[in-house]
Structures are given as C-alpha cells and as structure tokens.
Amino acid sequence: MAEFTMELNDEQKEVQDWLHGFAADVIRPAAAEWDEREETPWPVIQEAAKVGIYSLDFYAQQYFDPTGLGIPMAMEELFWGDAGIALSIVGTGLAAVGVLANGTEEQIGTWIPQMYGDAGDVKVAAFCSSEPDAGSDVASMRTRAVYDEAKDEWVLNGTKTWATNGGIANVHVVVAVVDAELGSKGHASFIIPPHTPGLSQGQKFKKHGIRASHTAEVVLEDVRVPGSCLLGGKEKLDERLARARERAKAGGERVKNAAMATFEASRPAVGAMAVGTARAAYEVALDYAKTREQFGRPIIDNQGVAFQLADMRTSIDAARLLVWRASWMAVNGKPFTAAEGSMSKLFASETAKKVTAEAIQILGGNGYTREYPVERMHRDAAIYTIFEGTSEIQRLVIARTLAGMPIR
Ligand SMILES: Cc1cc2nc3c(=O)[nH]c(=O)nc-3n(C[C@H](O)[C@H](O)[C@H](O)COP(=O)(O)OP(=O)(O)OC[C@H]3O[C@@H](n4cnc5c(N)ncnc54)[C@H](O)[C@@H]3O)c2cc1C
C-alpha cells in the first residue's frame, strides 16, 4: 500500500507545474472565446495532443498512480484553466476508462487508440448511459441490445441523451439493457465503431455552462455491431448475468454494493474538477479584493470581504482533502463504509457553486459581466452538482450507506 502523505511527490509536482503552465498559457486565454462559440475547441485539443496531455498514456499514468493523487491533481489543474475546454480534453478519458476497466486486452488495444486519434488527426470518444427517462434512475434504461446468434452481432435500439461528445465521437461506448429482469445488473456496455450505420446525433444542447463541451442526444436505430464489440466478451457477460440471477434470488445486496463501489471510486475525479473551478474563481476574487479600492482603501480591508475570502479558501481546502482521501481509498482498495467518494463529490461540487457565486459578489458589477471570468466559472460550476449523480443522489447514497440500507 502506498504510504499516505499530504504532499505531492517531486514527480507529481513536476507534472502539476507542467499542467498548470498549459492551463494558464493555452486553456485560460481561449476560455471566453469557446464559451461564446459553444463549440468543441479542436485547436486546443490538438495543442494538448501535441504536448502529450491529450493521450491515453498520460491519462493511464495518472489513473494508475499508486498514491491515487494523479487524477485529482490533473483534473484540478486543467479545470482551473477552464471547465468547458478541460471537459473537452478529459471527456475521451472518461469513455476510455470504461474500456480499460471492462474490456479485453484486444478491445483495449483496438479501440482506445481510435478514441484519441493522433496529434495530426485528433478524435474524441463518448460514454452514453443517460436516457430521457433514465437519469438518476439508471435502472429505468430502455435502450436494448439483442444478440443475433446467427450473425454473431448485437443489435442496439434506443435514444441516449446528455452524451458528452455524443455524435461527434469517433468511438461511442453505449450502455444497453441485455436482461430487463435484472435492472441495472442486466446492463452491458458496447463499443460502436466509427461510421457505424444507424447511429446518429440528435439534438445538440445549448447549455448554461461548460459551453465549450459538446453535449448531445445519440440515436441508435438498428445499430449492428460485431459480437467482439461487447465489452469484456460474451462468455464473461453470461457468467455475470448468471451470478446476478443467483444473487437476485438470494436477496441481491452484494451485487448492489459492488456496483456502488465503482461510483465511489470515480466520483472524486468530478470533485477535483469542482475544486479546480472553485480555486480559479477564488484566486480572481482575492486579486480583485486586494486591488479594488473603495472608501480610500482596498476592499479586502473590510472584514466582511476578508472573512468571505477566508471561508472560501477554507471550503476549497476542505473539499480538496475529501477528494484526496477518497482517491487514496479507491487506489488502496479501502472499503467506502461511509460513501466517502460521494461525500467528496457532494462537498466539492456544492463548494464550487457557492464560491463562484461569492466571487461574483466580491467583483461587484464587474463580476456580473463577461469582461471578467467569474460569471463563466459560476455558470460552469453548476454542472458539478448535476452530472455523475446529482447532489441529492450523493446525499441519498451517503445516507443509505450510513443506515446500512441497500442502494438501488
Ligand atoms: C452537461 C452534461 C453532460 C453530461 N454528460 C454525460 C455523459 O457524458 N454521459 C452520460 O451518460 N450522461 C451524461 N450526463 C447526464 C447526467 O449524468 C444526468 O443529467 C444526471 O445523472 C441527472 O439525471 P437527469 O438529468 O435525468 O435528472 P433527474 O434524474 O430527472 O433528476 C431531476 C431532479 O430530481 C432529483 N432526484 C431524482 N431522484 C431523486 C431521489 N431519489 N431523491 C431526491 N432527489 C431526486 C435530482 O437530484 C434532480 O435534482 C450529462 C449531463 C449534463 C447536463
């Protein structure tokens, strides 16, 4: 087990400096433009690919960092730069992790390179789980995958929504129902290769924040993919379904808790994104409070403003510590007996929403305009309390865990 420390090691600090430089020099200056354009910032992704930030190697290196701090550190720095652009850069990684975690070696080797493309021809990938009638309630999913044994093909039909990079992705990872009796245990994930007939983009959403990140519906109409596109393979799926049926008969709790552990391990990464946005807004507010003078003195000389900044910084540091703890627990296989992953996501995302609103207040009229970045950061921050499980769902998971109740 990696020893716990509150400090990043030298190698991590070096990576952090490098990422911070990219966020400050490339991402932040482009943020306002791509927010206005509401388009995927391809030139910035290309830059990130050129320097090695947009690549499986980089993502995997952070993901497998034995201290658990690689991903939270990377997310915080990139999202400090700008949330919309950073999501365009890391969105592919979220889809790739689905393949890394559940795919066979052959699937990993075949599909992940096609998700990223290369520096001269970058591609993106999408992870499609949510549906119009299945958001928080994943078990209500309707997209069906039916096996055509004669052709060794899967046929998918349904509509996915809210997919980051949906429709513009080279590779889509789609979660579908293979056994409706088993609820969320009857789901499986499929690779939809580039240019597969039947997959199309539906509505592209015009959003409140993270507008540089593309979010759209994905429509699947008789989409046929080879049997080899089922993540993990048919044999493993059949074994898993058989086990789920047995456990469902025996009460089902062990299965539910295993599924929950996966979310506990991935939620701190979203918490780290929120910490990045919160820190960015706090820094702008701190600088402004030191230089803006009213009544003949900097506004930070007023205790009302200074205390607000003190509280903002305290919450941000507390959020980061919760995120780091949960990430460390995940990588060291510690049981999340109090849903510590959900705790970190809940606290960090609510902190980002609050701190970015306070930053607007500290900047006064300027904070309310697009001349300053804090209004954008506040719009961006709202997403953290919604995706990867809303704040209410985090509270529900924490409460049920504490009560020893099963989580649906
Ligand atoms: C910009 C963006 C990007 C996204 N990217 C992706 C992606 O790449 N892939 C993907 O699959 N999904 C993605 N999502 C979907 C996201 O995960 C869902 O929006 C989220 O899970 C909430 O689902 P919903 O929107 O259907 O809200 P609903 O589930 O309808 O919830 C509506 C409200 O009811 C509350 N609520 C629901 N159930 C309960 C309950 N039991 N107790 C208390 N309150 C409850 C919720 O907290 C919320 O406040 C994205 C969403 C957005 C907005």
Note whether 288 and 363 are within 8 A (CB). yes
pLDDT digits (tens, 9 = 90+) for 94-130: 899 889 888 999 999 999 999 999 989 999 999 999 9
pLDDT digits (tens, 9 = 90+) for 243-279: 999 988 876 544 444 445 568 878 999 999 999 999 9
Note whether 328 and 280 are within 8 A (CB). no
Q: Is 165 helix (H, G, I), strand (E, B) or coil?
A: coil
The one-letter code for the residue type at 245 is R
Q: 92: Cβ below 6 Å to ligand 1?
A: no
Distance of CA 51 to the CA centre of its chain: 22
pTM: 0.96
pLDDT for 408: 61
> DSSP assignment, residue 2?
P
Q: Is 213 helix (H, G, I), strand (E, B) or coil?
A: coil
pLDDT digits (tens, 9 = 90+) for 203-248: 999 999 999 999 999 999 999 999 999 999 999 999 999 999 998 8
Evaluate if residue 148 carries a pLDDT over 80. yes
CA distance 124 to 170: 6
pLDDT digits (tens, 9 = 90+) for 359-385: 999 999 999 999 999 999 999 999 999
What is the distance in A from the centroid of ligand 1 to the CA of 386? 6
Q: Which atom of ligand 1 is nearest to the CA of 132?
A: 26
> DSSP assignment, residue 193?
-
pLDDT for 407: 74
Beta pairing partners, 204: 216
What is the distance in A from the centroid of ligand 1 to the CA of 111? 28
Using alpha carbons, list the distances in angstroms from residue 227 to 148, 231, 242.
9, 9, 19
Nearest CA to ligand 1 atom 22: 135
Q: Which atom of ligand 1 is nearest to the CA of 388?
A: 17
Q: 205: Cβ below 6 Å to ligand 1?
A: no
